[in-house]
Amino acid sequence: MSHIEIERRRTFAIIAHPDAGKTSLTEKLLLFGGQIQVAGAVKSNKIRKTATSDWMDIEKQRGISVTTSVMEFDYHDYKINILDTPGHQDFAEDTYRTLTAVDSVIIVVDGAKGVETQTRKLMEVCRMRNTPVIIFVNKMDREGKDPFDLLDELEEELHIAVRPLSWPIEQGMRFKGVYNIYEQNLNLFQPSKQVVTEKVEVDIHSGQLDTHIGKPLADKLRADLELLEGVYSAFDRQNYLDGKLAPVFFGSALNNFGVQELLDCFVEIAPSPRAVPAIERTVNPEEPKFTGFVFKITANIDPNHRSCIAFCKVCSGKFVRNAPYLHVRQGRTMRFSSPTQFMAQRKTTIDEAWAGDIIGLPDNGTFKIGDTLTEGEVLHFRGLPSFSPEMFKYIENADPMRQKQLSKGIDQLMDEGVAQLFVNQFNGRKIIGTVGQLQFEVIQYRLLNEYNASCRWEPLHLYKACWIESDDAPELDAFKKRKFQYLAKDRDGRDVFLADSAYVLQMAQTDFKHIRFHFTSEY
């Protein structure tokens, strides 16, 4: 039984540059999964019917996904878990962590803009982990780059071989549809957000094609396909699974075009849950005993209940509600009476989950990102680092009557890993470090709206915060004496050096040979 359950799981993330159409694609996939009845089209003036995968107020206002949400649905015989990631670069760290919890990735690329910086960075993370990637070229109903040029750009910018599995017929106003190379049929485009397009079985070399799209386009399509067959070798699934080859699909997510083809091919070729490396050993999904790790914590999914939810990826075996599991870091046994799974905002309590699933565990401060749960074995899963922040501000209480609310709010938001908190050892002031400006706005907004606490930011000019350690106690002591104004502690009580310029950091590294300066927390 377990083998069948695990085989039918498909857990993947959708990543893209902001505005490439990731939220639209997620929505259309949910439409096919029967999870939403009507697509919330983006209205003019950026007023949006709230897309189901964006649930925080600030996201609705700014039209961006700030937290990674998890959605699951059944499609044919498959159980699909989508992790939607924030496209905005200020939340890249959240996305990097999400990529540790998925078995494959779909990258959305805007047909007019091609590959953008954010996409390049995320692809590097996929390459580090050999995660299989499928590319969806979106917005074919707008004028864009020539598809052949796009394929070259994808290979060059993402450093991966590509193989188109569908091919566009014209684009922009003249867009007629795509020919599905994988299934060998023709999909004709009708611009409608609600209707699913018609599929036509055609023999590409017969006159049928001419009747559907006219002779000039039919001839061009035949020539294009011949060229493709000449340039690209046949699609090899193993190369795709090894992360060496990316299949490419063309379509328009907003108009619901080309999405089903992507989904049908995806469930067939994408990997089921894969083995996960832990420090102690590699864990295989088919193992009978449950293991899992927490890769994300979200506060206040439900504003009426001030609760946090820890998202746990099941790595092996079967998770059972109310069964005793070991919380490895704390060394104690816990039971979970109301584990949940998500369909955007609807959560449902579940009795069991299998390897590949993502479950929500109610959390009142028991979890940190990276925590492991097992049936008793001591395991630590790897690869959930906190990055060294690049922007810093002092956070001050703007309302003396609400000190308690502020502390609680900061604590919970830091648990989510949105930003990092350092306490300056010299003056005791709290410093928040983030990777982007937008996070300061989000923190201020959420403190006010969820915790009824107001904060104000004060400028702080720092170049980098880095974790320090040394086996040479006298040298570490000397360093701390000399730099006492620039030392802080992180939430785990570890020493952090706050360098105010690249030069100062370089000098410190030169003067103190036996001190190790780390730029991620997982050292």
* Tens-place pLDDT, residues 442-471: 888 888 888 889 999 998 888 888 899 999
- Which pairing describes strands 166-169 and 177-180: parallel, antiparallel, or unpaired? antiparallel
Any domain includes 82: no
Please indicate, yes or no, if residue 42 is contained in any of the structural domains: yes
The stretch 64-78 carries a mean pLDDT of 70
On whether residue 379 sits in a domain, the answer given is no
Q: Say if residue 54 is in the same domain as residue 25.
A: yes
> Which spans in 233-367 are helix H?
237-241, 259-269
Beta strand pairing status for 340-343 and 276-277?
Answer: unpaired
Assess contact for 467 and 494: CB atoms under 8 A.
yes
Q: Identify the weakest region by mean pLDDT among 10-19, 54-63, 270-279, 337-346.
A: 54-63
One domain for residues 319 and 443: no
The range of the structural domain enclosing residue 454 comes to 391-518
Residues 326 and 414 in one domain: no
Average per-residue pLDDT in the chain?
80
Of 188, 200, 202, nearest to 255 by C-alpha is 188
64 vs 25, more confident = 25
pLDDT given for residue 392 in this prediction: 92
Q: Which long-range contacts (CB under 8 A, 24 or more apart) does 235-243 make?
A: 235/163, 235/165, 235/182, 237/269, 239/161, 240/132, 240/134, 240/269, 241/132, 241/269, 241/271, 242/130, 242/132, 243/126, 243/127, 243/129, 243/130, 243/131, 243/132, 243/133, 243/160
**For the ranges 9-13, 256-260, 367-371, the one whose mean pLDDT is highest:** 9-13
Residue 51's pLDDT is what?
A: 52
Amino acid at 347: K
What average pLDDT does range 464-480 have in this prediction?
Answer: 90
pLDDT at 89 over 50: yes
Q: What is the mean pLDDT of residues 142-151?
A: 86
The 10s digit of each residue's pLDDT in 348-372 is 777 888 888 888 888 777 888 888 9
Question: Would you say residue 277 has pLDDT above 80?
Answer: yes
> In the predicted model, is pLDDT for residue 39 greater than 60?
no
The structure tokens listed for 497 are 């050096």
| Domain limit, last residue, from 340, 374, 408 | 374
In whole angstroms, what is the distance from residue 161 CA to residue 46 CA? 36
Q: Of 322, 346, 374, which residue sits at a domain end?
A: 374
Indicate if 321 and 454 belong to the same structural domain.
no
Q: H or E stretch including 451?
A: helix 437-451
Give yes or no: residues 366 and 322 share one domain.
Answer: yes
The set of long-range contacts for 191-194, using a CB threshold of 8 Å and a minimum separation of 24, is 191/141, 191/255, 192/255, 192/256, 193/39, 193/41, 193/254, 193/255, 193/256, 194/38, 194/39, 194/256
Q: Is the pLDDT assigned to residue 422 strictly greater than 50?
A: yes
CATH number at residue 100: 3.40.50.300
| Contacts with 128 (C-beta within 8 Å, 6 or more apart), sequence order | none
Same domain, yes or no: 22 and 104: yes
Q: Give first-to-last CA distance, the chain, whole Å.
A: 40
| Final residue in a domain of this structure, among 244, 269, 294 | 269
Asked if 259 and 407 sit in the same domain, the reply is no
69 and 149 part of one domain? yes
The confidence score (pLDDT) of residue 100 equals 82
Q: Domain count for the chain, please give it.
A: 3
363 and 395, same domain (yes or no): no
Asked whether the predicted pLDDT for residue 256 surpasses 50, the reply is yes
Residue 139 and residue 102 share a domain: yes
- Residue 325 is predicted with a pLDDT of 93
Answer yes or no: is pLDDT of 237 > 60.
yes
Spatial distance between the Cα atoms of 200 and 209, rounded to a whole number of angstroms: 9
Cβ contacts of residue 434 below 8 Å, gap of 6+? 90, 389, 390, 391, 392, 418, 419, 420, 440, 443
Distance CA 421, CA 432 (A): 5
Same domain, 396 and 366: no
Q: Is residue 422 part of a domain?
A: yes
312-319 average pLDDT score: 91
Return the pLDDT at 135: 93
Is residue 140 in a domain?
A: yes
- pLDDT of 426 above 60: yes
Q: Which amino acid would we find at residue 359?
A: I
Q: What SS3 class is residue 311?
A: strand
- Say what the pLDDT of residue 374 is: 92
Distance, C-alpha 3 to centroid of its chain: 27
One domain, residues 321 and 403: no
Q: 270-283: string of b/e by CB count within 10 Å (b at 16+)?
A: bbbbbebebeeeeb
